[in-house]
Amino acid sequence: MRNGDAATWEKLHELGLKTTSTEEKQNFYEALAYSTDPALIKKTLAISLTDELPTSRATYIVSKVARESDRPDLAWDFAKANMKALLAKVDSLGANTYVSGLFTFFTDSARIDELKTFAQKNLSPAASKPVETVADEIRFRADLRKRLIEQVPALK
């Protein structure tokens, strides 16, 4: 699906809807998360609000899009707009890590402040440890990205 078009997305979605195999269903839906087309990414994210998938898989698809589409910003924008519905599908323990988990794939250290601000306003104090862990991950990724850009002339 990385280079797939709307017809490919529709076919994979149709196959995911029709199969009775849990493993196949998971594979088809996860394949949708690899799209790089913003319109198809948004269609994939919207599935998380439906009953097409079990709740744990529905919320997981948002994280999968953040990782595989190379557009964690679209996944985060979607999650912010639909946070109440998404957190309703997550158990109380998972709610403490769900939001920070969506930030794991950012490489811009400015996202750390955004995560911390959101967590402080919207999450319980129990989320502070996962938030700090992900903040460290973002710092690492941002530093690594900077060093790679400096070392590889084609990336400048």
Return the pLDDT at 155: 61
pLDDT(45) > 70: yes
Query: Once rounded to an integer, what is the mean pLDDT over residues 114-132?
Result: 92
Amino acid identity at 145:
R
Where are the chain's structural domains? 1-80, 91-156
Rounded CA separation 35/33 (Å): 6
Q: How confident is the model at residue 56 (pLDDT cuts 50, 70, 90)?
A: confident
Identify the top-confidence range among 8-12, 68-72, 88-92. Answer: 8-12
Rounded CA separation 30/16 (Å): 10
Rounded CA separation 146/156 (Å): 10
Return the pLDDT at 156: 58
Return the pLDDT at 48: 96
Q: How confident is the model at residue 94 (pLDDT cuts 50, 70, 90)?
A: confident
Return the pLDDT at 92: 77
